[in-house]
Structure 1
Amino acid sequence: MTGSDPISDAIIAGSTSGELGDSINASKRAKRDRFSAFEAPNPPDQCSNSSTELSGPVCHSCGQTADTFHRPIWDLLVDILDGLFGLEGRLWRTIPPLMLRPGHITQNYLSGVRARYVMPFRLYLTVSVVFFLLIFAFDGFGGDEVSGTVPTPEAPVAAANLETLDERLAEAGIPESEREALARTAQAGVAQVLSQSTMTPEQRAQQRREDRDSMKQEFRQMLLPEVYGEASDPTLNGAGDDGVNINVTGLDELPLEVREAMVQRIDRIIDSGGATLVASMQRWAPTMMFFLLPLYALMLALTHFYKRGYFFYDHLVVSLHFHAFMLLLITGLSLITYVIPAAASYAVLFGLVWSNWYLYRLHRTVYSHGRFSSLLRVILLDFVYAIFLSFALLGLFIVGVMTT
């Protein structure tokens, strides 16, 4: 292409081979010429941008489509949807092999077979949007404050179980002294259940408010002992035998302004029953997943540093396809669990087995590893990635608290 470079070629290729290009190729409806106040500077058989003679729906010189878009907006939307979701669209040529043939489209894409598939980054963005929309839509934050309902305590059942508790503990071989302590704890729990069963809705609401206030006070004492005094829990903030205040959490070393801001945010979280924290974590979850993509690609690169011919771009494509597969798998299994709650354990087991088998086949297909080598890499990647994911979730929780 005259006057172009590899970067611009890639951008043009991506734009002209996107859903819009699919819609132009897939749509068989005749498009009537309509009068427009904005006339093209060139004849209809020439590209309006580069004046190049057209030989198809896309200019081979600059990549601009030949469509004037001077049609009703609903006609344009139908064209785009036809290209995206039609049987001839690339989405349906990408999703089935992505889910059922591990490494197939990745191997094809890296080998140069690309036009028939959705671009990896665009595929991941589409799948992630669907994933987070569905997961957040069906994952309402439970609790009495949100649902407006109060669970009914099972007082008769608890009392009946208490009568046979000592017999079951004796059958389990627990000494009598320990059985007495466990019985006292169980009796206290049953007494609380019985008291809650006789509460009116107003009394239960008052009890929840008191519990929230107590929880907020504990956090205030822990974060701001100089303002609210010592915490009731000596393991957090307490006084030693010599009267010196002890803070084993180390939070008192933070600046006062930071601790005051934390108290305000924790108060909002407790008042909302945790809903504000969940909402904040939901906002940041896509960003966390986005940063995990190059991290996983880097892990793949480090495990293949000795092999020539593999570039970071190749590992990034593998990471994009694998994460898109995982998001689709979790979405599907979550929907099944939502419809059939009894299948939750089977769904988790299937997800673990299929995802690891997928990763194993991915190494076999894309990187041409042997069976033993692929198995070792799956175990190593699972272990290391689980550590990174744990830190990422912890960071997501911290960011969620600080941005509520």
Structure 2
Amino acid sequence: MDTNQATCQNCEQPYDEGFQFCPHCGQKTNDELTIGVLFYNTISNYFSFDARFLKSFIPLMIRPGYLAKEFIKGKRLLYLHPAQMYLFVAVIFFFIFNFYVREGREELDKNMQRVLENRSEKLAQRDSVIPQDSINVNEFVKPHQENGVNIGLDEEGLKALDSISNIKIPKDDIETSFSFNEQKLDSLIAQGATDEELYKAMGMDEDDGFLTRKFYEQGLKFYRTMGLGQIYQTFIDSIPLAMFFLLPIFAFLLKLFFFNKGRYSHHLVFSFYYFSFLFVVFSIIFGVNRFWPIPDWIDWLVAFSTFIYLLLAIIKFYGQNWFLSFIKSGLVSFLFLLFVLPLSFGILGVIAFLFY
């Protein structure tokens, strides 16, 4: 007996009526477009925010190393994929962190504006004084005395005036943190000099390469605008991208210390889940402090607890004893925090300065 056929709206293939999902493409057969369906599909497609997230979140927070171990065993549909988990919590973290970034930039912009105003005031004061050599008071006063003009000063007063007039006005630059001659640079800017002339005044040589010229170009831009806030914003904006490089480096450190404990991909899975945990913890810290500031010692205690979590996760995932796990966890954390992170942020700082 023939069954009634329906056509899938997505792949346009026929299927028997009564199916809840198309047997060819998997789309739901009766999927009326409502506001709820629209946003659910958006979130689930891009972040896989479904039941698997709730099943994964609790073990992530209270069972260190469990999710990574289960994923390696082959349970890859029961829990949220490690990369999807990382992406989802990273988006939340940087959304919360953005509020602090905005306030920090506003404060930097205000401070830099004050620096510009102070520099302008000093420049105006310097330009209002005409540098000159000493004046011979006797040559100025003597003709008036010969003509019988009384200037109101006795001999002692004339000597004092002459000693003061012999003090030369210093022609040195205002003391600043810049290594180039600011007075000369300000004069060239006021005269409308070209950028090439300004670069030379700052110390650039004609045979300097592209990177050096770029530094001078950005240095002049910074001198004119004091754009520390822009550099700060560029630096912050580049952190999410940098994390995609820092996480594999962390996994590489794990591979070095646990070289016989699986492939590099196994360590990468562990790193995805651990960094997801870190983002969740710091999202909570920043979120709570945003509305109810808590003592700093509590923040530091919570931050230190992430190392305890790492230790427990390594014990669970790699199956080593406490002592070896503690030593290796400490070394991995030490290398990552004191070498990898500072070097990475230093590189980010240079990039932020070059391209802000």
TM-score of the alignment, normalized to the shorter chain, above 0.5: yes
Q: How big is the alpha-carbon RMSD for the aligned residues of Structure 1 and Structure 2?
A: 4.1
1:65 is paired with a residue of what secondary structure? coil
Q: Matched residues in 2 for 1:373 and 1:54: separation?
A: 61
Matched, 1:361 2:312: yes
> So what's the TM-score if we normalise by structure 2?
0.66
Pair 1:137-2:99 in alignment:
yes
> Residue 262 of structure 1 corresponds to which residue in structure 2?
218
Inter-partner Cα distance in structure 2 for 1:305 and 1:86: 32
When residues 145 and 396 of structure 1 are mapped into structure 2, their CA distance, relative to the original with a 3 A threshold, is closer
Give the match's secondary structure for 1:385. Answer: helix
Match of 2:329 in 1: 378
Verify the 8 A CA contact 1:124 1:321 in the aligned structure 2. Answer: yes
Structural mapping, 1:203-282, within 5 Å: 206-207=117-118, 209-210=120-121, 218=178, 220-221=180-181, 227-228=200-201, 257-267=213-223, 270=226, 272=227, 274-282=228-236
Between Structure 1 and Structure 2, whose CA radius of gyration is higher? 2
The answer to whether structure 1 residue 306 and structure 2 residue 260 are counterparts is: yes
1:66 and 2:28 matched = yes
Do the aligned partners of residues 391 and 215 (structure 1) sit closer, same or farther apart at CA in structure 2, a change above 3 Å counting?
Answer: farther
Do 1:297 and 1:315's aligned partners in 2 also have CA atoms closer than 8 Å?
yes
What is the alpha-carbon distance in structure 1 between the residues aligned to residue 224 and residue 89 of structure 2?
Answer: 33
Partner in structure 1 of residue 355 of structure 2: 403
In 1, Cα distance between the equivalents of 2:116 and 2:218? 26
Structure 1 counterpart of 2:341: 389
C-alpha contact 1:124 1:323 (8 A) present in aligned 2? yes
In structure 2, the partner of 1:110 is 72
Does the CA-based 8 Å contact 2:7-2:14 persist in structure 1? no
- Quick check: 2:52–2:78 contact (8 Å CA) kept in 1? yes
Deviation at 1:254, TM superposition (A): 5.2
Displaced runs of 4 or more, over 4 A: 44-47, 49-60, 81-88, 142-148, 208-217, 219-226, 252-256
Which secondary structure state, in structure 1, belongs to the residue aligned with residue 75 of structure 2?
coil
How many Å apart are 1:300 and its aligned residue?
1.3
8 A contact 2:48–2:84 mirrored in 1 = no
Alpha-carbon spacing, 1:367–1:217, altered in 2? closer, same or farther (3 Å): closer
Q: 1 CA distance for matches of 2:49 and 2:351?
A: 42
Give the paired residue count: 284
| Corresponding residue number in structure 2 for 1:122 | 84
2:285 aligns with 333
Q: Distance in 2 between matches of 1:304 and 1:86?
A: 31
* TM-score (norm: length of structure 1): 0.59
Q: Residue 98 of structure 1 contacts residue 105 of structure 1 at CA under 8 Å; is this kept in 2? A: yes
Q: Distance in 2 between matches of 1:43 and 1:275?
A: 60
Q: Does structure 1 conserve the Cα–Cα contact (< 8 Å) formed by 2:6 and 2:17?
A: no
Distance 1:396 1:205 in 2: 26
Q: Which position in structure 2 is the counterpart of 1:80?
A: 41
Equivalent position to 1:296, from 246, 250, 253: 250
Task: Report the Cα offset of residue 312 of structure 1.
Answer: 1.7
- From 290, 296, 303, the equivalent of 1:351 is 303
Select between 296-305 and 366-375 the one with higher mean Cα deviation.
296-305
SS for the counterpart of 2:64 is coil
Give the Cα separation in 2 of the matches to 1:342 and 1:142. Answer: 23
* CA offsets 1:232-289 (integer angstroms, 9 cap, x no match): xxxxxxxxxxxxxxx9xx9x9655633432323423661x4x2101111122111111
How far did residue 293 of structure 1 move? 1.5
Query: Which of 56, 61, 86 is equivalent to 1:99?
Result: 61
2-side partners of 1:131 and 1:294: how far apart? 19
Q: Give unpaired runs (5+ residues) of structure 2.
A: 125-173, 186-196
1:18 maps to: none
- Distance change >3 Å, CA 68–CA 58, structure 1 → 2: closer
Classify 1:303/1:46 alpha carbon distance in 2 versus 1 (closer, same or farther; 3 Å).
same
- 1:286 equivalent in alignment to 2:243: no
CA deviation after TM superposition for structure 1 residue 344, in Å: 2.4
Is the alpha carbon distance of 1:48 and 1:394 closer, same or farther for their aligned partners in structure 2, counting shifts above 3 Å?
A: same
How far, CA to CA, are the matches of 1:217 and 1:313 in structure 2? 48
Stretches of structure 1 that go unaligned for 5 or more consecutive residues are 1-41, 151-202, 231-246
Query: Equivalents in 2 of 1:253, 1:128: separation in Å?
Result: 41
| Alpha carbons of structure 1 residues 50 and 390: separation in structure 2 relative to 1, 3 Å | farther
Give the CA deviation at 1:342.
4.4
State the structure with bigger RCO (CA 8 A, min sep 6), 1 or 2.
2
* CA 145–45 in structure 1, closer or farther in 2 if over 3 Å, else same: closer
Q: Give the counterpart letter for 1:119 in structure 2.
A: H
